[in-house]
């Protein structure tokens, strides 16, 4: 059974800092890994999807990496802004049915 863990559970950084969010998974036989952003009371916004054959994906100030052999993914946010404050979730499909197994998220606060 796939288990996904995210550390830390919460993180507070001053504006302008670079930061890394961590995601680990127990079963390395994954198809892909997806990072989402969730604002309070809102749904999930897909940020990046890394296929199992890729090592990283970039979108603007975001860079996600994937190391299947060690069961880890990281989301790097460069030059953080207050608007980046949200909960960040990682998830990976389980089996051929493609349902997502989620971590519990990292709640990020970027302060002025």
Partner 1 sequence: EAGVAQSPRYKIIEKRQSVAFWCNPISGHATLYWYQQILGQGPKLLIQFQNNGVVDDSQLPKDRFSAERLKGVDSTLKIQPAKLEDSAVYLCASSHPGTGNTEAFFGQGTRLTVV
For position 61 contacting partner 1 by CB under 8 A, the verdict is no
For position 62 contacting partner 1 by CB under 8 A, the verdict is no
Distance CA 110, CA 53 (A): 32
Dihedral of alpha carbons 44, 72, 74, 109, sign = positive
According to CB under 8 A, which one of 60, 83, 96, 112 is a site residue for partner 1? 96
**Under 8 Å CB-to-CB from 18, ≥6 apart: which residues?**
76, 77, 78, 79, 80
Q: Smallest gap, in angstroms, from Cβ of residue 16 to partner 1? A: 29
For position 89 contacting partner 1 by CB under 8 A, the verdict is yes
Binding interface with partner 1 (CB under 8 A): 4, 31-32, 34, 36, 41-46, 49, 51-52, 89, 91, 93-100, 102-105
């Amino acid at each position: 059974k796939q288990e996904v863990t995210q550390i830390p559970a919460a993180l507070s950084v001053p504006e302008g800092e670079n930061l890394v969010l961590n995601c680990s998974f127990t079963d390395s036989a994954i198809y892909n890994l997806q990072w989402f952003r969730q604002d309070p009371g809102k749904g999930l916004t897909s940020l990046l999807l890394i296929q199992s054959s890729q090592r990283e994906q970039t979108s603007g100030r975001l860079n996600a990496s994937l190391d299947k052999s060690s069961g880890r993914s990281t989301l790097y946010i460069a030059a953080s802004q207050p608007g980046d404050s949200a909960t960040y979730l990682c998830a990976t499909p389980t089996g051929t049915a493609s349902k997502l197994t989620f971590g519990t998220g990292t709640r990020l606060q970027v302060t002025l």
